[in-house]
Structure 1
Amino acid sequence: MMHYGHSNAIRQAKEMGDYLIVGVHSDEEIRKHKGPTVMNQEERYEAVAACKWVDEVVPNAPYFTTVDILDQYDADFCVHGDDISKINVMTNNATLSDGTDCYEEVKKAGRYKECKRTTGVSTTELVGRMLLLTRVHHQLNENSFPVKSIENFQNNPKSRYTSGVSHFLTTSRKIVQFSNKKEPKTGDKIIYVDGAFDLFHVGHIELLKKAKELGDYLLVGIHDDKTVNAIKGSNYPIMNVHERTLSVLSCRYVDEVVIGAPYSVNEEMMTAIYNIDIVVHGKTEVFSVNGEDPYKYPKSVSKFIEIETKYSYLTTECVIERIFNNRKLYEERNRKKEEKENLIINNLQK
């Protein structure tokens, strides 16, 4: 899965040079060395390519990074997170299944650098959040809230935000690092898209790409955790609003975000930040607010467009379903990862 931890590593790597090439492993390579994938390779290639700091993507990149590979792409050095050194030093455990360090050759050649790992997130950790729950925790039923509306959810005991898995907090500095730091120019056509953007994936990315093509400046509204929980119920969202904000900001098609955006796009919202020209929504279900369509106003003034993309089939629920369908494989993958991390912690304590 492509998450904001990857984006932060990519951002740091780009600051070390002028042109950033990102190698993405195939499904086969990942299964061989790490376990089952969540997103398939085509989805991952496109997700990485959409990251604003990436200049070029190399698909089917070998897991073992050699000097020849660097020379083939005219790369001066290779960058990886500093967690790899901690694993090797503390546990004497290599990064490849055959017992060798997959960066050993480029390290010896003096063409290896490290960036700081983003704490609190990893694919393993995100999968773990989903594995803590059962399939029914993510399904709406007669005991879930809501069914078709979100009115009065703050006063409804069934609407309590229940996932509470992540306590990740971001800082103003991190927001600035991820932001584009630009405002729309006079005459720019401003497009607005809102949503949860939970487990940010290529389905979201393709929607944002298509939305940006409709204008000059893309403003993205991100609903807060309580609103998302009221809309979807159960144990959503998987990622909290801080994590979802960084994920969206890392996308090259996004110019600015509204953190904690209102669920209804009314006349006031259309002019509150910038004068919005078009409001865009994907093919996902829209819940009513007090019995009314949250996009009633932009529709009434002919400023609403619904977009269908080649990834419209891919939703957050779809990603979770993939986890559940391969639950035993992911549980074994996470168990091995936990053993390795516990070994590191024990050695550090000693």
Structure 2
Amino acid sequence: MDYQANYSIWDGVYYHPHLFGVIMLTAALLGFSTSYLSGIAGFPTLPYMLPYLGNLKKQKGGKKRIRVYMDGCFDLMHYGHANALRQAKALGDELVVGIVSDEEIIKNKGPPVLSMEERLVLVSGLKWVDEVIANAPYAITEDFMNSLFSEHKIDYIIHGDDPCLLPDGSDAYALAKKVGRYKQIKRTEGVSSTDIVGRILASMEDKQENGECNGMSMSQESHLKSKHASNFLPTSRKIMQFSNGKGPGPNARVVYIDGGFDLFHAGHVEILKSARQLGDFLLVGLYTDQTISQQRGTHFPLMHLHERSLSVLACRYVDEVIIGAPLEISKDMVLHFSFCHLVYVTKVPSYTLLQVMEDPYKVPKSMGIFRTLESPKNITTTSVAQRIKANHEIYQKRNAKKEASEKKYYEERKYISGD
């Protein structure tokens, strides 16, 4: 990667400080300015170079740990956000994430769907995130950039290959690019917060036009034809990138929890955290799209099975998922996975499978491994959707503008190495 090539200069500074001092002294005697030095070998100007030199620290093996920073609104967290942070972490050793404040989002994009507290829970719950900075600015100002370099010891600022423009049309990352401390990753295509808002608004329109009593076929057909239908193309490699790639140890206490986990939110993170604390290995069963549609209506799920799988796998408390889990837990399933606890979450779904079939948890109950957990938060997939529906006019206007910019991005995008 090119960032490693750039660091050969700084490694020389660290390991041969006297030689570097001689070079700088000679340059000063010859009348060279720091502005001239900034034009060669990728050197930033002196104000940005000095705090950077002070941040040089060694790992046990003698190499400096690279700290990278990525910011965002992270409203309606989805696997695209998670994949961006996964890519950002791959460019360094420690990932610091800035979460833009509610006020800044309102000023630059319109009202967020999720509160700062909810977004903090979501971002902090991702397995690739090491530190979080709350209430970060939307634009990288000079003062904030200096604080990133000096206080947070940041080496590079990361963003996707899609443009991030301020209301005046200027680049939000212009300063970071100017001082040579900017890195770019590939945007995850096929999903965005704008797209998800569109799905929710489309599901509301679908209900109004078709009604709940017209049956599955007509509504399902309408849903599939929607311009907001998912364009995500799942691959085994992407699942492997999100997976821990490890099974439970021979004596591990395996905890199992199942559900839809649609529109992954802070309530999901908190309940998964609680479930993980009951054992050593957390296995999550994800219901099929058909199962969720049968229980909640054909406009659900908002995220299809593979999208939901990646969102759950990205959570730091999850070790493995079953993609398309059965409703009924059999004795063979319990013995195969060696469950120590099977968890049923109360007060999270707005529906229950127990209403339509014989108790699917009958076996684990008879074996004495059934546990119930109450969600510590009142947020649900339905409540998040209702926030958007309650302010649908605002979000429709915002989406119209955002959809235009996203269309332009797809038309003008160029290949960026990374995935």
TM-score scaled by length of structure 1: 0.87
Which one of the candidate residues 69, 72, 79 is aligned to 2:147? 69
Secondary structure in 2 aligned to 1:288?
helix
SS in 2 for 1:8: helix
Report the AA paired with residue 319 of structure 1.
Answer: V
What one-letter code is carried by the residue in structure 1 that aligns with 2:406?
E
Cross-structure match for 2:240: 176
Q: Which residue of 1 aligns with 2:14?
A: none
List per-residue Cα deviations over 1:221-280 (Å, max 9, x = no partner). Answer: 0111111111212310011111000000000000000001001112122123x1111111
- Change in Cα spacing, 1:324 to 1:142, as seen in structure 2 (3 Å) is closer
Counterpart position of 2:95: 20
The Cα RMSD (Å) is 2.3
Compared with structure 1, are the counterparts of its residues 126 and 142 closer, same or farther at alpha carbon in structure 2 (3 Å cutoff)? closer
Match of 1:262 among 309, 326, 338: 326
CA distance in 2, matches of 1:208, 1:51: 12
- SS of match in other structure, 2:339: coil
Counterpart for residue 91 of structure 1: none
Report the CA distance between 1:301 and its aligned residue.
1.8
Does 1:133 pair with 2:203?
yes
Between the aligned residues of both structures, percent identity stands at 47
SS at match of 2:359: coil
- Alignment-derived partner of residue 329 in structure 1: 394
CA contact (8 A) 1:162 1:236 kept: no
Deviation sequence 1:104-134 (CA, Å, 0-9, x none): 1111000010111000101001101111132
* Aligned residue runs from structure 1 range 113-128, under 5 A: 113-128=183-198
Specify the alignment match of 1:78 in structure 2. Answer: 157
From 338, 359, 363, give the equivalent of 1:297. 363
Q: Is the 1:162–1:235 Cα contact (8 Å) retained in structure 2?
A: no
Query: Given the alignment of the two structures, is residue 188 of structure 1 paired with residue 252 of structure 2, yes or no?
Result: yes
Matched position secondary structure for 2:257:
strand
- Report Cα offsets for 1:303-342 as digits up to 9, x if no partner: 111111321x111111110110110110011111123234
Corresponding pairs, count: 326
Equivalent AA in structure 1 for residue 277 of structure 2: E
**Alignment pair present for 1:220 and 2:290:** no
Question: Which of 254, 266, 284 is the equivalent residue of 1:202?
Answer: 266
After superposition, the Cα gap between the structure-2 partners of 1:231 and 1:103, relative to the gap in structure 1 and judged at 3 Å, is: same
Distance 1:20 1:345 in 2: 28
| TM-fit CA distance, 1:287 | 1.4
2:342 counterpart SS class: strand
CA distance in 2 between counterparts of 1:198 and 1:122 reads 15
1:142 to 1:123, Cα distance in 2 relative to 1, 3 A:
closer
Question: Aligned partner of 1:51: which letter?
Answer: L
Distance 1:157 1:269, change over 3 A: farther
Alpha-carbon deviation of 1:172? 0.6
For structure 2, which runs of at least 5 residues remain unmatched after alignment? 1-75, 415-419
Q: Which moved more, 1:332-341 or 1:205-214?
A: 332-341
Compared CA separation, residues 213 and 344, structure 1 to 2 (3 A): closer
For residue 347 of structure 1, report the CA deviation from its aligned partner. 6.1
TM-superposed deviation, 1:161 = 8.0
Structure number, greater radius of gyration: 2
Larger RCO: 1 or 2 (CA < 8 Å, sep 6+)? 1
- CA distance in structure 2 between the aligned counterparts of 1:4 and 1:12, rounded to whole angstroms: 12
Q: Secondary structure at the match of 1:299?
A: helix
TM-score when scaled to structure 2?
0.73
Structure-2 residue corresponding to 1:97: 167
Q: Contact (CA 8 Å) 1:161, 1:229: kept in 2 or not?
A: no
Deviation at 1:100? 2.3
Looking at structure 2, the residues matched to 161 and 259 of structure 1 have their Cα atoms a distance apart, in angstroms, of 24
What amino acid is aligned across from residue 76 of structure 1 in structure 2? D
Q: Name 2:182's counterpart in structure 1.
A: 112
Change in 2 beyond 3 A, CA 1:266/1:161: farther
Q: CA deviation at 1:343?
A: 4.2
Task: Return the letter of the residue paired with 1:125.
Answer: D
Task: Report the residue type matching 1:73 in the other structure.
Answer: H
Q: 1:337 to 1:279 in 2, by over 3 A?
A: same
8 Å contact kept, 2:95–2:128: yes
- Pairwise CA distance, 1:143: 2.6
* 1:61/1:265 CA distance change after superposition, 3 Å: same
Cα distance change, pair 187–41 in 1 and its aligned pair in 2 (3 A):
same
From 66, 85, 90, the equivalent of 1:10 is: 85
Q: More helix by proportion, 1 or 2?
A: 2
Q: Judge which range, 327-336 or 280-289, deviates more.
A: 280-289
AA in 1 matched with 2:361: Y
Task: Flag the 1:158–1:83 CA change in 2: closer, same or farther, 3 A.
Answer: closer
